[in-house]
Amino acid sequence: MSEIHFVENEKNERAGNTEGVMEETTKKTKGFLSCILDALDEEYGITKEGFYHKEDWQLLAAIMLSAQSTDKQVDETLPGLWERFPTLEEAAAAPVEDIAQAIKSIGLYQVKARNLKKCFGEILTVYGGNVPAELETLVKLPGVGRKTATLFLADAYGIPGVTVDTHVFRIAKRLGWAQGKNPVEVERELMDLLPEEHWNRINFQLIYHGRKTCTARKAKCGECILEKWCGKKF
If one compares 24 and 50, the residue with the highest pLDDT of the two is 50
155 a catalytic residue = no
The rounded mean pLDDT for the chain is 88
| pLDDT of 2 over the 80 cut | no
* Alpha carbons 153 and 149: distance in angstroms, whole number: 6
Sequence-ordered list of residues with C-beta below 8 angstroms from that of 47, at least 6 positions apart, any chain:
201
8 A C-beta contact, residue 199 and residue 162? yes
- Please check whether residue 206 is in contact with residue 167, taking contact to mean a CB–CB distance below 8 angstroms: yes
pLDDT for the residue 19: 53
Q: For residues 17 and 2, what is the distance between their CA atoms, to the nearest angstrom?
A: 22
Position 7 pLDDT exceeds 50: no
Q: Which of 56, 117, 147, 155 is catalytic?
A: 147
Measured in whole angstroms, the distance separating CA 138 from the mean position of its chain's CA atoms is 16
Q: For 99-108, b where at least 16 C-beta lie within 10 A, e where not — what string?
A: bbebbeebee
Mean pLDDT of 147-175: 93
* 56 included as an active-site residue: no
Higher-scoring residue by pLDDT: 120, 11: 120
CA distance 142 to 144: 6
Confidence at residue 104, expressed as pLDDT on a 0 to 100 scale: 95
Question: Model pTM greater than 0.85?
Answer: no
Of 50, 56, 66, give the one whose Cα is nearest residue 127: 56
Quick one: pLDDT at residue 14?
A: 44
Q: CB under 8 Å to 175, separation ≥6 — which residues?
A: 29, 36, 226, 229, 230, 231
pLDDT digits (tens, 9 = 90+) for 207-224: 999 999 999 998 999 999
3-class DSSP state of 66 = helix
Maximum distance among all alpha carbons in the chain?
77
Active-site residue among 165, 173, 212, 232? Answer: 165
pLDDT tens by residue, 73-118 = 999 999 999 999 999 999 999 999 999 999 999 989 999 999 999 9
- pLDDT (tens digit per residue) in 168-205: 999 999 999 999 999 999 999 999 999 999 999 999 99
Q: How confident is the model at residue 234 (pLDDT cuts 50, 70, 90)?
A: low
Q: pLDDT class for 29, splitting at 50, 70, 90?
A: low
Share above pLDDT 90 across residues of the chain, in percent, rounded to a whole number:
75
Element (H, E) at 57: helix 56-66
User: Which residue segments constitute the domains of the chain, with CATH numbers given?
Assistant: 27-47+162-233 (1.10.1670.10), 56-157 (1.10.340.30)
| 24/207 Cα distance (integer angstroms) | 26
Residue (of 41, 64, 69) closest to 202 by Cα position: 41
